[in-house]
Each structure stands twice: as C-alpha cells, then as structure tokens.
C-alpha cells in the first residue's frame, strides 16, 4: 500500500531544528557534519517510517542509536543511493519512494544535494518556494552543518542534484 509524504510536517520539523539539534538524535557535526542526519529526521517527521527491511545495511534507512544506524541515515551519498534505488514507480516494496528530478519539479519538503564528481557531500530541504507569477524564482532551504533557516538556494555555490520524495510503501 502506498502512503503520501506529509510535506507540511517535514517542513515544520525542518524549521524547528534548523538552528539547533533534536536531543533525541546524536549530533554528527564533529564527525563530518550533521546535514544528512537532520534531513533524515525531517523526512521521518513527514511520516516516512524507518526502513529496516532491506537485505543489507545499504538497502535500509534507520537511526535507533549512534551504534544502531545505517549509512543512508547519516551519509549524503548513501542517502542518495538509498532514496533513488529503494523503489520505482511500479514496485510495492517497503519504505521510501523518491526519484532524482529536475529543478522545476521540486516541492516543499523535497531534497537538494550538493555534489562533486557525482558524489553528494551535503544535503538540504526545501522549506519555501518563491514565485514570480507562475514561475519559480527561488527556493528557500534549511540545513544543519552551517545551520541555515529559510536561506535562498540561489546563494548556495556548487553543483546540485534534486530529489523528490513521493511517499512510501508499507
């Protein structure tokens, strides 16, 4: 069965914790950054359940403790690989359903990653969309690791990739 992603809940969580840390989760700032951990929390707050049903740790997405977590929960590139390979439009697997899309297909709660040589090194969430008439003028993002709240995406430097969260299978 397929369930929708609660974009409003994900964005509310993103705004609440953009400039601080949820004490229920470990802060990975000193170990390379907290950005993907924070984004995973946002998506989870948007109703996407943790996924421990894969046949190996790279096909799962969860955080129960610092010692019981997957690379896809806290690492930018494993997060991308999990999101884009977990499900496709014609499957009914368990867990998140997401896809890489173009800039103009993004919505609130969708994900942007900064990449170098096709490897993600930073993850952000869209928290507002600025329109010029019917056209997208800019997106505002939130992030941890260099904490930002509703920051213009247009001011971020680097190559990007865009990820749309559709929902999840249960």
Residues 6+ apart with CB under 8 A from 49: 95, 168, 170
| pLDDT tens, position by position, 131-168 | 999 999 999 999 999 999 999 999 999 999 999 999 99
* Residue 25 main-chain phi, psi, to 5 deg: -120, 150
| pLDDT tens, position by position, 35-82 | 999 999 999 999 999 998 877 788 899 999 999 999 999 999 999 999
- 8 A C-beta contact, residue 82 and residue 58: yes
Reference 120, options 65, 151, 162; nearest CA is 162
């Amino acid at each position: 069965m397929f369930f929708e992603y609660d974009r409003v809940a994900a964005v509310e969580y993103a705004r609440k914790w953009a400039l601080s840390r949820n004490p229920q989760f470990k802060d990975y700032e000193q170990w390379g950054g907290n950005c993907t951990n924070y984004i995973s929390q946002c998506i989870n707050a948007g109703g996407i359940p943790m996924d421990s049903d894969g046949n190996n740790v790279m096909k799962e997405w969860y955080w129960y403790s610092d010692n019981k977590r997957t690379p896809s929960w806290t690492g930018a590139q494993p997060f991308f690989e999990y999101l884009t390979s977990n499900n496709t439009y014609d499957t009914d697997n368990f867990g998140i359903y997401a896809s890489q899309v173009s800039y103009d297909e993004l919505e609130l709660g969708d994900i942007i990653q900064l990449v170098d040589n096709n490897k993600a090194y930073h993850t952000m969430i869209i928290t507002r969309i600025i329109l010029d008439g019917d056209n997208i003028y800019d997106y505002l993002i939130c992030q941890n690791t260099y904490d930002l709240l509703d920051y213009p995406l247009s001011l971020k430097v680097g190559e990007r990739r865009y990820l749309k969260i559709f929902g999840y299978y249960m």
